[in-house]
């Protein structure tokens, strides 16, 4: 999973759209997911997200689900994993792969 905050925010619009298009190609080819937070809606046509969450202000949120595209044998996804991960109880590259519990803080 790749997480990008303020994706393309400080770039000129042409470069941001090129990066969005290439990010989409990369995650599709690798079969991984990406979560992109941005204030620029012009990138959605190049990112082609399967889930688009828009924060409209005053606590209003709009969620749009789009049909994921098939590209060869790989399912193209821009948010979430292409398949559900299986917890193993081990860590992989420092990531937690199983549920953990947090101690209750003392009052």
- Is residue 107 a part of any domain in this protein? no
- Is residue 104 a part of any domain in this protein? no
Distance in angstroms (rounded) separating the CA atoms of residues 52 and 35:
10
pLDDT of 64 reads 87
- Is residue 19 a part of any domain in this protein? yes
pLDDT of 16 reads 93
Give the range of the structural domain holding residue 20, as residue numbers without chain letter: 2-96
pLDDT of 68 reads 58
Distance in angstroms (rounded) separating the CA atoms of residues 17 and 40:
10
- Is residue 41 a part of any domain in this protein? yes
How many structural domains is the chain composed of?
1
- Is residue 38 a part of any domain in this protein? yes
Distance in angstroms (rounded) separating the CA atoms of residues 72 and 3:
25
- Is residue 101 a part of any domain in this protein? no
- Is residue 16 a part of any domain in this protein? yes
pLDDT of 26 reads 93
Give the model's confidence band at 102: pLDDT under 50 very low, under 70 low, under 90 confident, else very high: low
pLDDT of 24 reads 93
pLDDT of 75 reads 40
The structure's pTM equals: 0.58
Tens of pLDDT along 5-46?
999 989 999 999 999 999 999 999 998 999 999 888 899 899
Tens of pLDDT along 37-94?
988 889 989 999 888 888 888 888 888 887 755 554 334 344 444 444 555 555 444 4
């Amino acid at each position: 999973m790749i997480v990008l905050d303020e994706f393309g925010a400080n770039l000129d619009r042409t470069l941001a759209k090129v990066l969005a298009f290439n990010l989409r190609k990369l995650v599709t080819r690798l079969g991984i997911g990406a979560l992109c937070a941005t204030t620029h809606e012009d990138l959605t046509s190049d990112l082609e997200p399967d889930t688009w969450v828009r924060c409209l202000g005053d606590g209003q949120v709009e969620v749009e689900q789009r049909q994921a595209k098939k590209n060869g044998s790989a399912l193209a996804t821009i948010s979430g994993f292409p398949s559900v991960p299986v917890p193993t109880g081990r860590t992989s590259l420092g990531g937690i792969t199983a549920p953990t519990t947090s101690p209750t803080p003392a009052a």
